[in-house]
Amino acid sequence: MNRIAGKDLPLRSHTERVLSDYFSNLNGHRPARLYNLVLREVEEPLLRAVLDYADGNQSQAAEILGITRTTLRKKLRTMGLAE
């Protein structure tokens, strides 16, 4: 597991493992636009998990994410997650 200053970084370790698996399974194909692919794959579950953690409170979720509530609401609308 990765460590910085004596702290475990499980999210980083999981990410590295998943990306390593992704590259191993390309069967000779070259990835393209990987940055955008990763963001698309990770952002929605991230928002869902943080909203769940904040019991649906968008202000708290935005604070946890380090973004404004307006930005969070825009992302939720874009992803079709807005109520």
Q: Look at residue 3 in the predicted model and tell me its pLDDT.
A: 62
Q: Exposure of 4 by Cβ count < 10 A (0-12 exposed, 13-18 middle, 19+ buried)?
A: exposed
Tokens for 68, please give them.
Answer: 């404004």
Residue 83 is predicted with a pLDDT of 66
Record the tokens describing residue 1, joined without a space.
């597991």
Q: 44: domain range?
A: 8-78
pLDDT confidence bin for 4, thresholds 50/70/90: low
Q: Name the average pLDDT for the chain.
A: 91
The answer to the question of residue 1 being in a domain is no
Q: The domain spanning residue 60 has which CATH number?
A: 1.10.10.60
pLDDT band of 2, cuts 50, 70, 90: low
Answer yes or no: pTM beyond 0.85: no
Count the domains in the chain.
Answer: 1
Q: Tell me, yes or no, whether 65 lies in a domain.
A: yes
Rounded to an integer, the average pLDDT of 43-72 is: 97
Q: Is residue 83 part of a domain?
A: no
Integer-rounded Cα Rg, in Å, for the chain is 16
